[in-house]
Amino acid sequence: MSNKSITANDAWAMLIEKYDIVNKVIKDGLFHIKASEIKAFKEPRLMAKWDCIAALPTVLKKYNLNILPDSRSSYVLGDFLLYKEIPELQEEVFNMDYVEIPDYETIDINNISSEAVAINVLVISGILDDFLGVDGTVQTFSGRMGTGEFDFVVDTVRGNKQKIFVKNAQCEIDGGFENEHEVVIMEAKNILNEEFHVRQLYFPYRLWRNKVTKPVRLIFSIYSNMIFRLFEYRFVEINDYSSIELIKTKNYSLQDTTIDIEDLIEVRNNTKICYQDNQYDDLKVPFIQANSFERVISLLENMKDNPMTKEQIAALMVFDERQSDYYYNAGAYLGLFEKKREDKISKVFLTRLGDNVFSLNYKERQLKFVELILKHQIFADCFDMVINSGGDLPDIETIESLMREYNVCNEGQINRRASSVQGWIKWIFNLINL
């Protein structure tokens, strides 16, 4: 009988040992496993869906194992390469297209809180039509459906291609659209990850390519921090999962995103430094260890009116629980998050400041984040270095020296946390590129 209390990592460790999965993958290239065999340890739905690499159980990462469904009741394991990195929102993007939405009472552009609402806004604002370069795109299908039968090859860690057969596995489509010229399949996210699972586009593509005569276009969408990021992909070879290729990307906002260097300098000049971050100054939270400030914002957006436990944050943001602590601490460091007990359970809430920041429009919100960061001496110093150097970010060695000077953390933590400082400074100055 499956045990709800054991972790997915422990359950996979036991399955790997019981069925000698690692050696069988080395010998045969893959290993087939039934849902019922997984369920003996833990529910398959909690054991087989990992949207990004960070979410994978440690034991699967250790042995370079990944998992795909090959029917409604079975899966296949192998050293498959299943994920595609998402380009960063920086440097390539210098012009943000600003669009206006019709005045609907039921849509609050400052609170697009779900993937479904984000898709609705993409359609009614005209963003999707603009990105596709056509008119009249309407949503015609979505939800769970069977894939039908097909086979494909996928790249592996070993460097070869592994063939896989799929027979009526289940796939879920966030948005399916049609216009005069084509069918469009969209995978939508409102959580920012470093990569996405190619299966989320490939399985729906194989299903609908056999059902329609029009060309099928594939769109991956992210809505975070009031910005829509759209990516169009294609598969160069229909039978090759790993032949995915990015065709184009474009970014849209429902608000003016114009921030210039003078805005940032004004914030710096008007911000009083309040914190030295000396680790012996009775700090309530440790110094930051969260490299992606965009993910701090994404967590803030998803906690609006929705306090969560550490475990719920880890599941939502596809963190392990240690990373969940890092990102909670990052928000608490800026005064945005706090822990309180609700129904005898410790949960993370937005503070009053966090609520206020959430309600700001795009430009005010970004500049408020900058202010909260620059209240800390080390970030103010790094900001000044960028200005005085004409735009060069301080290197890791310089940041480490400052961290030692201000005694912000233990020596063994300095190297890892210096990259977080650099990441946040990079985020601040990237605001003027959008």
The domain segmentation of the chain, as residue ranges, is 8-79, 85-253, 261-433
Tell me whether residue 4 is exposed, middle or buried, using C-beta atoms within 10 angstroms of its C-beta: 0 to 12, 13 to 18, 19 or more.
exposed
Number of H helices, E strands in the chain: 16, 16
Give CA–CA dist 239/244, Å, rounded: 11
CB distance 324 to 313 below 8 Å: yes
CB distance 25 to 65 below 8 Å: yes
For 44, the enclosing helix (H) or strand (E) is none
Give CA–CA dist 232/186, Å, rounded: 9
Instruction: Please state the length of the chain.
Output: 434
pLDDT recorded at residue 95: 46
> Residue 94 pLDDT > 50, yes or no?
no
pLDDT recorded at residue 414: 93
Q: Buried (b) or exposed (e) across 72-81, using 16+ Cβ within 10 A?
A: eebbbbbbbb
Give CA–CA dist 81/199, Å, rounded: 11
pLDDT recorded at residue 111: 75
> Residue 49 pLDDT > 90, yes or no?
no
pLDDT recorded at residue 278: 86
User: CA distances (Å), 342 to each of 5, 296, 349, in order?
Assistant: 22, 23, 10
- Report, as an integer, the average pLDDT of 25-36: 95
Give CA–CA dist 37/31, Å, rounded: 13
User: pTM score > 0.95 for this model?
Assistant: no
Kindly report the CATH number that applies to the domain delimited by 261-433.
Answer: 1.10.10
pLDDT recorded at residue 105: 83
Confidence class of residue 90 from pLDDT cuts 50, 70 and 90?
low
Residue pLDDT, tens place only, 286-301: 999 998 899 899 999 9
> Residue 320 pLDDT > 70, yes or no?
no
Q: Which residue has the higher pLDDT, 102 or 375?
A: 375
Confidence class of residue 4 from pLDDT cuts 50, 70 and 90?
low
pLDDT recorded at residue 192: 79
Confidence class of residue 33 from pLDDT cuts 50, 70 and 90?
very high
pLDDT recorded at residue 182: 97
Give CA–CA dist 137/147, Å, rounded: 24
CB distance 255 to 359 below 8 Å: no
Residue pLDDT, tens place only, 211-237: 999 999 999 999 988 889 999 999 999
**Lowest mean pLDDT across 44-58, 143-157, 256-270:** 44-58
Q: Which residue has the higher pLDDT, 318 or 421?
A: 421
Which phi and psi angles does 217 have, rounded to 5°?
-105, 145
Residue pLDDT, tens place only, 155-168: 999 999 999 999 99
Residue pLDDT, tens place only, 96-146: 566 677 788 888 777 777 888 899 999 988 999 999 999 999 999 999 999
For 277-289, the three-class secondary structure string (H helix, E strand, C coil) is CCCCCCCCCCCCC
Confidence class of residue 87 from pLDDT cuts 50, 70 and 90?
confident
> Residue 350 pLDDT > 90, yes or no?
yes
For residue 332, the tally of other CB atoms under 10 A from its CB is: 19
**pLDDT above 90 as % of the chain:** 67
pLDDT recorded at residue 255: 80
Give CA–CA dist 242/182, Å, rounded: 23
- Report, as an integer, the average pLDDT of 232-244: 98
Give CA–CA dist 365/370, Å, rounded: 9
Q: Which of 429, 416, 415, 417 is nearest to 384 (CA)?
A: 429
Give CA–CA dist 370/368, Å, rounded: 5
CB distance 241 to 202 below 8 Å: yes
Confidence class of residue 319 from pLDDT cuts 50, 70 and 90?
low
Mean pLDDT of the chain: 90
pLDDT recorded at residue 91: 38
Residues with Cβ within 8 Å of residue 389, at least 6 apart in sequence: none
User: CA distances (Å), 424 to each of 79, 268, 272, 317, in order?
Assistant: 34, 15, 19, 19
pLDDT recorded at residue 264: 97
**pLDDT above 70 as % of the chain:** 94
> Residue 1 pLDDT > 50, yes or no?
no
Residue pLDDT, tens place only, 332-349: 999 999 999 877 888 999
